[in-house]
Copies of this chain bind each other. A is one copy, B any other.
């Protein structure tokens, strides 16, 4: 019996002891955000699957793991011999584990989960599917703490100031904007559960989560006062003083439930049901009217301010210089020394580290050669690390946090002579990226309306990719930031529209299992174009600066608009990056960015 099987056995014993028929485990922490600290990485520890999104259901005779198509190939490998079955959801981004529960659990079933790790909207979905069945759900059940002996401690980093010269807006102004919105909504309290919302609001950053410059924290914003829940010593003294003046009181992290349940004077509280845990939700006194919507800071921070946009421009130059140096180094050395996926990742880190204001990678670098590239979110490990050989496609998806912004870029590189299929695939993906960034659309448009622009050329050739096209990007914050996105699925409320100042990734792709993956990703920012009698129109501007490998382009598949875009882009890349490059680097980039 391997360690994973043993843990499953121990968990099943706990199920029996507690008379539980099915236990549910999510990829989540008490903030229900995408980025979770090691302490909460229950699923990797329990099952061996290291992908970022999954749900596990364990019964006495069944152990299943649901994840999305990004991770199918990876999960199949990692779950082999684990005792867990990989269940592929039928549609993009669905929670089919709930369907499974409804179909496979009969009457009089006792279901259990840790209410800190499920959002109230997830619980409602489960409850809805179970209507009419005689099911009890224990939402206060933590079976993991007892059996996970060497569990990593809760993170405990210190906060640091994020000055206004970087972020462009004083705390007081942001607080004022949030409170104005609360007033309009007639809300007395606003529970903010997402650490990045709190970082943005208070102009602070932390290092509690790998790849994410945040402090694990909750906040309750009142009309006059703010309660910030983060261990006291985490906030430096000079900030504590300023916070006090702003009416911000700091409490230990764990006190959130107690303080929530003691809220009395107000009449209503705004929460986001998708990020508010069952435990927090149940702590809110019945006397408060609960208003549900995404958080106010989340909407406000999605639109970058003028200073942020200017700073993003600066950061893109630095990041582009680091990338150019990397690709130059790679081409000079690839045939001389052994370069592996891990050493690619290390070299990129080294070069980014030389740039001003670099805080660290914005996510785990994906350096994936050939068949590894077919795993959209491949994370290289010592075991999987491959030598970059002499033929194939190298996909590199990486990014950095800088004080002045966050980057996220993917390039796919031809090693040796690319095949016709590789060139066709690459060019169709490139067409998609270009057609999306060239979009012009009226104010009021949502991301799901634009998604097809990135897919059309692929669809016409019977190809597709199983993930979204673009995500929002934080400003020295989460590399994936909502509520805006560009993808095939419309959010249930249809409310998020694309606004000037929103920053998006643009990353169509193609994955050929067992062969290679191709993805090209730039960040782009939305700006106002012309206003006509038919409304205000918007456009995108690419901000990422790095050449695109022409060796993979089949020019005959591009139309003149697309070729123009590429040539203009390459001219801009050279113009903005070359002043910071050495002579040989400059010469090399000149060639890479020559007219197609």
Give the interface of A toward B (CB within 8 A). Answer: 91-92, 131-132, 186, 267-268, 289, 439-442, 444-446, 448-453, 456, 459-460, 462-464, 488-490, 492-494, 530, 532, 534-535, 537
**Please, how many angstroms separate the alpha-carbon atoms of A441 and B463 in the complex?**
9
Copies in the complex: 2
A441 vs chain B, min Cβ distance (A): 5
Contact (A459, B488) CB under 8 Å given A131-B289, A132-B268, A448-B448: no
A462 x B289 contact (CB < 8 A) = no
Asked, given contacts A132-B289, A268-B132, A494-B489, whether A537 binds B462 with beta carbons under 8 Å apart, the answer is: yes
Q: How far is the CA of A534 from the CA of B458 in the complex (A)?
A: 10
* Cβ–Cβ contact B460 & A442, under 8 A: no
Find out whether the CB atom of B459 lies under 8 angstroms from the CB atom of A537.
Answer: yes
Which residue of chain B is the closest to A267 with respect to CB atoms? B132
Task: Pick the residue among B439, B463, B532 that contacts A463 (CB under 8 A).
Answer: B532
Alpha-carbon distance between A463 and B131 when the two chains are bound, in angstroms: 48
Asked if B441 and A459 sit within 8 Å, CB to CB, the answer is yes
Q: Give Cα A446 to B493, complex, Å.
A: 16
Q: Measured between alpha carbons, how far is A132 from B186 in the docked complex, in Å? A: 10
A173–B334 CA distance with the chains assembled, in angstroms: 67
Task: Give 9 nearest A-B pairs by CB, closest first.
Answer: A490-B490, A462-B532, A464-B534, A132-B289, A449-B452, A440-B459, A440-B460, A463-B534, A442-B464
Cβ–Cβ < 8 Å partners of A445 in chain B: 488
Neighbouring B residues of A268 by C-beta, 8 Å: 132
Interchain CA distance A530-B464 in the complex, whole Å: 13
Q: A289-B131, A452-B450 are in contact. Are A462 and B534 (CB under 8 A)?
A: yes
> Could you say which of B91, B453, B462, B464 contacts A452, with CB atoms under 8 Å apart?
B453
- Residues from chain B with a CB closer than 8 A to the CB of A493 are 492
In the bound complex, CA of A503 to CA of B450 (Å): 24
Find chain B residues with CB under 8 A from A446 CB. Answer: 488, 490
B residues less than 8 Å from A494 (CB atoms):
489-490, 492
CA gap between A91 and B456 in the complex, in Å = 27
26 chain-A/chain-B pairs, Cβ below 8 angstroms: A91-B444, A131-B289, A132-B186, A132-B267, A132-B289, A439-B456, A439-B459, A440-B459, A445-B488, A446-B488, A449-B449, A449-B451, A449-B452, A449-B488, A450-B452, A452-B453, A453-B456, A462-B530, A462-B532, A462-B534, A462-B537, A463-B532, A463-B534, A489-B494, A492-B493, A492-B494
A445 to B490, CA, bound (A): 11
A452 → chain B closest CB, angstroms = 5
Complex contacts, A535 vs chain B, CB 8 Å: 464
Residues from chain B with Cβ under 8 Å of A448 in the complex: 448-449, 490
Instruction: Give the CA-CA distance A133 to B446 in the complex, in Å.
Output: 32
- Which of A91, A267, A439, A494 has most B Cβ within 10 Å? A494
- Distance of A490 Cα from B495 Cα, bound (Å): 10
Chain B residues positioned under 8 Å from A459 (CB to CB): 439-442, 537
Residue of A459, A532, A535 ringed by the most chain B CB atoms within 10 A: A459
- Taking CB atoms, residues of chain B closer than 8 Å to A488 are 445-446, 449
Which residues of chain B are near A267, meaning CB under 8 Å? Answer: 132
Chain B residues, CB < 8 A from A452: 441, 449-450, 452-453
Q: Which residue of the partner chain B has the closest CB to A458?
A: B534
State A409–B476 Cα separation when bound (angstroms). Answer: 53
Q: Which residue of B lies closest to A460 (CB)?
A: B440
Nearest CB in chain B to that of A290: its residue:
B131
Cα A91 to Cα B448 with chains together (Å): 17
Q: Nearest Cβ distance between residue A451 and chain B, in whole angstroms?
A: 6
| Bound Cα distance from A355 to B384, whole angstroms | 71
A36 to chain B, nearest CB (A): 27
A436 to chain B, nearest CB (A): 11
